[in-house]
Amino acid sequence: MKKITKMVAAFLVMFVMILATSQVATAQEWAFQPIDDANKVWEIRFNFPLDPQSVSSDSVYVLEGSNKHATTLDLAKDGKLLWVYPAEPYEKEKQYRVMITSGVKSDGKALKTPVEVPFQLVDLNDKIQSVYSKTVNVLTTVTVTTSPDVHSVKISGDEMKFEGNNTFTQTLVDVKNGSTLTIYGYDENGKRIETKKYKVQ
């Protein structure tokens, strides 16, 4: 199994497009990002300079559940680079989202598609490092990231699909919000090396 790419840099660069016509309300969710820095700074790069007055805590922010996690924004002089600093450290086992909304504008034009980037603080010493879930209608997709010595993962007894880069997924049907799932990690010999409980959020 290939080792997961370790996020040691202080920033994750995200490239965001600006639309020159009407704005679109539906947000695009980017891939889940495990982070190992509780004070991670998100660096967001745009392909056009932003209107400074459009950059605020209402247009770019971080959510923890349905609540905003306090952040500070810093826009570069050329307007193409935005940094998002957490006012308080992120916490383990909480699910966060960087939200870049259509309130962000360039030359009066709104963001083509709002963007959501889900992320979670992980401990690189854990075998099962992060668990993330997203529910759409009755389907809940669970994503698990692990250390390199985990070769298979089961969730409530079912084998999860290996996606590469120490990432496993499974789609469950009709899982209630607040339900507790049990996740098992196994080594190359099939020995269970970690068990983790996860509450669906």
Record the tokens describing residue 83, joined without a space. Answer: 């940094």
Tell me the C-alpha distance between 181 and 201, whole Å: 11
> For 174-200, what is each residue's pLDDT tens digit?
888 889 999 999 999 999 999 999 988
pLDDT attached to residue 27: 73
Taking CA atoms, 182 is separated from 120, 131, 137, 154, 159, in Å, by 18, 11, 22, 8, 12
pLDDT attached to residue 51: 95
> For 56-75, what is each residue's pLDDT tens digit?
999 999 999 889 999 999 99
Specify the DSSP class assigned to residue 58. Answer: T
Q: Which residue from 94, 101, 108, 125 is spatially nearest to 53, judged by alpha carbons?
A: 108
Tell me the C-alpha distance between 171 and 141, whole Å: 4
Taking CA atoms, 178 is separated from 71, 160, 161, 181, 199, in Å, by 27, 21, 23, 9, 5
Instruction: From first to last of the 201 residues of the chain, give the pLDDT tens digit.
Output: 433 333 333 344 555 554 443 343 567 888 889 999 999 999 999 888 999 999 999 999 999 988 999 999 999 999 999 999 999 999 988 999 999 999 999 999 998 889 999 999 999 899 999 999 988 889 999 999 999 999 999 998 899 999 999 999 999 998 888 899 999 999 999 999 999 999 887
pLDDT attached to residue 19: 44
pLDDT attached to residue 50: 94
pLDDT attached to residue 22: 39
Q: Do 82 and 100 touch, CB atoms closer than 8 A?
A: no
